[in-house]
């Protein structure tokens, strides 16, 4: 893979990282261990009616589900960016063979080639 192509993938990864971090930030915050947790803060904060409290609890559960899906994506993006810096980007984590360029075009944070999905 050419250095120019790797630079293109790096740019895509950095752009996606900003989007995913923005989405995560709108639903929660990092805890002391650096893990994303659902917001919006204390469930009973400002809730005075039972329906209001139920709505906040439901929203927090929805946020937790979305965070559970997005946090691993952010990790994959960060791992791919680290691999670029280490000079090992684009290698399948199972076989060590190059990941197909088409696969990286579709998912620049791909960890494996299509044979090892």
pLDDT in tens, 49-70: 777 777 777 878 888 889 999 9
User: Regarding predicted confidence, which is higher, 40 or 5?
Assistant: 5
Question: How much is the pLDDT for 12?
Answer: 98
Do residues 99 and 113 make contact, with C-beta atoms less than 8 angstroms apart? yes
Question: pLDDT at residue 44 above 50?
Answer: no
What is the pTM (predicted TM-score) of this model?
0.82
Residue 60 CA to residue 27 CA, distance in Å, equals: 8
| DSSP state for residue 34 in the 8-state scheme | S
The domains of the chain, with CATH numbers, are 3-116 (1.20.120.910)
């Amino acid at each position: 893979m050419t250095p120019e192509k790797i630079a293109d993938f790096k740019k895509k990864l950095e752009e996606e990282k900003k989007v995913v971090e923005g989405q995560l930030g709108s639903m929660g915050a990092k805890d002391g261990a650096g893990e994303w947790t659902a917001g919006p803060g204390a469930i009973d904060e400002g809730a005075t009616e039972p329906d209001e409290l139920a709505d906040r609890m439901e929203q927090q559960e929805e946020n937790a589900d979305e965070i559970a899906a997005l946090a691993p994506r952010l990790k994959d993006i960060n791992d791919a960016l680290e691999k670029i810096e280490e000079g090992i980007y684009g290698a399948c984590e199972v076989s060590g063979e190059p990941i197909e360029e088409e696969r990286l075009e579709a998912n620049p944070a791909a960890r494996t080639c299509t044979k090892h999905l």
